[in-house]
Structure 1
Amino acid sequence: MKNTDRSGTRGYASLVEIDAPPARVWRALTDPALVHIWSGAEAQIDARAGGRYCFGAAAGSAPVREAHIDVFEVNRRLRLIYLGDPDLPLCESAMVDDFLLDARKGPGTTSLRLLGSGIPEAAAWDGFYKRTRVGWERRLARIKAALENPPRRKPPTVGLALRGLDY
């Protein structure tokens, strides 16, 4: 007999190896300007234990995700506990994202793990769960790409004569 009770919670786990030291990966997670680069959205971060972490908002609008920073261990761990969202179904569990940084493979490589939990098993949450899990997989890939292949500045063109303007 198949158990169809969906009253628990579910989570997700992702791991990405990034060719960058933990301090750079940490900064990518906690600096609003860098969060904007990999998420494509505005971020407001009060980077400290007990602070606030909001991202996903367009400039001047309400954040898509808002969280309390529960654990803030510089270059090691960032745990976010998401606050209630009126646009989501009622939820009695705490939704959590736990980012763990580890340099076991050497000082120039960081293992970035994300452990997400607390999303209800109820069918009403299936779409949110899939979007969240896949969204974080893509965001972690973008963090890796941004840190391993940062944009290069173009050399200045000062002093070069422009065709037709060399009189």
Structure 2
Amino acid sequence: MSLVTVGIGDLAVTGDPRAVIVTHGLGSCIALVAWDPGLRVGGMLHFQLPASALSPERALDAPGTFADTGIPLLFHRLYARGCRKEALVVKAAGGGSFNDRGGAFDIGRRNHAAMWRILRHARVAVVAEDVGGSRSRTVRLFLDSGRVTVQSGDQVAPL
């Protein structure tokens, strides 16, 4: 097994069938996962904020930080590996609400809304998601099968 760790504002795409792509500590951030079962190529993005307009210079250095720059980059890298949009199995997790009394910032909800807006515009279907709430999540994509798991504490569930 080859472990590929995706940090906050980062993404990874691989076709290594021994790889497991993982991201830890999803709170209000969202992990967007895509896998092509025919090619056995997959990727994961861990984005932190909905819009790059918040920090255009940061978007240049770390486009994966934002939904509006990271999501297109993830799909561009998948397409560069031969993936086709209609073949991709897309899933998402995260978007929780933490330390936001009264919902003043509501970053998790805003991240989720931005993700859906971008994916709808691109006509990309999401087949499963585990979003919201107030629990931290770890997400894993197993490249050999396309299986995605979401772990919160000791609980691991398929997505």
Determine if the TM-score, normalized by the shorter chain, exceeds 0.5.
Answer: no
More strand as a share of residues: 2
Tell me the TM-score normalised to structure 1 length.
0.29
